[in-house]
Structure 1
Amino acid sequence: MANVAEGGRWLRKFRATSEEAPQLVCFPYAGGSAGWFTRLRMDLAGEVQLSAVQYPGRLDRLRDQPIDDLHVLADEVFAVLDKSRPVALFGHSMGAVVAFEVARRLQAASVPVSHLFASGRAAPHLQRNAGVHLMSDDDMVTVIESLGGVEPGALSNAELRAMVLPVVRNDYRAIETYRCEPFASITAPITVLAGTDDPIVPLPDASEWTRHTTGSFALEKFPGGHFFPVGQWGTIADLVRRELRGGAGLGSGGRHGRDEAAGA
């Protein structure tokens, strides 16, 4: 079982109506927080035991030292998870890679991983070091705004910038210095969620996740840029619900495209 006190620091839990409900752990993007998954939690309320990871150095963990090594970050999350039953993982952008590394650790510990949802991120072995963590504050803000992470001008306040940018820089350092073996894999199915207009995750790079599972693989395409989930949470909840139920069909109102291939 996980350490309860440590789990309380790392995980924001939203309980389902049944303790037997599927367990889903969500990982936010660089600079993001657990609250980003509130809408997904609301859409899956009562059906899924959803927990969202709160990385150190932000919001209620402002005084906790941020972690700039993605492998260490994965170790810390792995240590506090409930390993008594299967777990599904959902990560966006940097969070997709953290989720993948946590899945590898769970698998090594013989804990069943029922599914990995990797959103808004190229495959782990494709290194994309744009040097954002080495940029000036102004240039970093420009990058964040261009991706839609914040509204233009939202970080014009000097006090807010001083609080937010060190955390963002730390997270970019973690993901930009991360390295993964080309064929590191898990046995769990992987579903990749990709924005068709994402400027930093071309669809071919998203498709490369297929080499990181020996199970099934699917690529789900959504309209929008890097933060496409913000306008698509309802459809994403349908997707998660379908996969965690073992492949039951979606309703006819789905608005995304689907490509499938067998994992290598």
Structure 2
Amino acid sequence: MTDTKNDGAAWIRRFHPSPAADARLMCFPHAGGSASFFFPVSKGLAPRVEVLATQYPGRQDRRAEPNVPDMGQLADRAAESLLPWTDKPYALFGHSMGATLAYEVARRLQDAGRPARALFVSGRRAPHRNRDDGLHLLSDEEIVADIGALDGTGDQVFGDAELMGLLLPAIRSDYRAAETYRYAPGPVLTSPVHALTGFSDARVDVGELHHWKEHTEAGFELTVFSGGHFYLVERHEEILELVRARLFEGAVT
């Protein structure tokens, strides 16, 4: 473990610092997303649960840094930054690309002797079922159109058209990291896995989420909400309730 939590400060945002929290939730945004996406989650869970939102390079206050279009590199650097924060019970939550990244970080922290209490994966195929849809090879216009078609919430999540232009390099880099990711077999997690998805998600069929059970020996649960790929924007309160319950009410079977 590193000597100070300040070493990984660039990667972590604590919107509501809660030193007396009973547990921590480490959050990983979708492709093109930023730590601020989880501000409402942090506010809703504080002070009992302290949220650590991961800030990827190449966006917001890290815009001057180069993007990292490789899932393994992202996981290595995020895990190194988060390891000092595993001194109390913690869980990980990732949406879309962030779900794959959360899983890979969970593997690394488990290998370091600090397994998570739970892993929450949202709107994403299981690691061994990943596929390359070629989104990172689309033109800028095609990427914008693809995002705008995501259940009508693209504007809520990514902002207006002008800001989208500034985000495109990060989005393309994240798409590349997500689509070129290749699962490497290894020990399964000793943490339960809770999979969440929107029933009408155009990115992934509900049935695909069941395959996450192959990556844990500690129990699996699938929860389906109404909505599409960004269902969690509208189902915010229900998701917070689920996270609280699973963090403090025991394991699933």
TM-score by structure 1 length? 0.87
The alignment covers a number of residue pairs equal to: 248
Instruction: Please give the residue correspondences for 1:109-124 in structure 2 after superposition, counting only pairs within 5 Å.
Output: 109-124=112-127
Partner in structure 1 of residue 30 of structure 2: 29
2:241 pairs with 1:220? no
2:154 pairs with 1:168? no
Task: Measure how far apart 1:20 and its partner are.
Answer: 4.5
**Contact 1:86–1:111 (8 Å) recurs in 2:** no
**Contact 1:194–1:203 (8 Å) recurs in 2:** yes
Between 79-88 and 199-208, report the one with greater CA deviation: 79-88
**Contact 1:16–1:48 (8 Å) recurs in 2:** no
Partner in structure 1 of residue 56 of structure 2: 55
**Structure 2 CA distance for partners of 1:149 and 1:77, relative to 1, 3 Å:** farther
2:151 pairs with 1:151? no
Partner in structure 2 of residue 255 of structure 1: none
Measured in 2, the distance between the counterparts of 1:243 and 1:169 equals 34
Between 121-130 and 182-191, report the one with greater CA deviation: 182-191
2:92 pairs with 1:95? no
SS in 2 for 1:226: coil
Task: Measure how far apart 1:173 and its partner are.
Answer: 0.3
Task: Measure how far apart 1:29 and its partner are.
Answer: 0.2
Partner in structure 2 of residue 7 of structure 1: 8
The Cα offsets for residues 144-172 of structure 1, whole Å up to 9 and x where unpaired, read as: 11114532996543xx4442111100000
Supply the AA of the counterpart residue of 1:241.
R
> Where does structure 1 lack aligned partners over 5 or more consecutive residues?
249-259
Measured in 2, the distance between the counterparts of 1:162 and 1:228 equals 24
> Where does structure 2 lack aligned partners over 5 or more consecutive residues?
none
SS in 2 for 1:64: coil
**Contact 1:183–1:211 (8 Å) recurs in 2:** no
Partner in structure 2 of residue 256 of structure 1: none
Measured in 1, the distance between the counterparts of 2:95 and 2:75 equals 15
SS in 1 for 2:58: coil
Instruction: Please give the residue correspondences for 1:103-252 in structure 2 after superposition, counting only pairs within 5 Å.
Output: 103-147=106-150, 148=152, 150-151=154-155, 156-157=161-162, 160-181=163-184, 185-247=188-250
2:77 pairs with 1:73? no
Structure with the larger helix share: 2
**Contact 1:85–1:112 (8 Å) recurs in 2:** no
**Structure 2 CA distance for partners of 1:154 and 1:56, relative to 1, 3 Å:** closer
Partner in structure 1 of residue 45 of structure 2: 44
SS in 2 for 1:55: coil
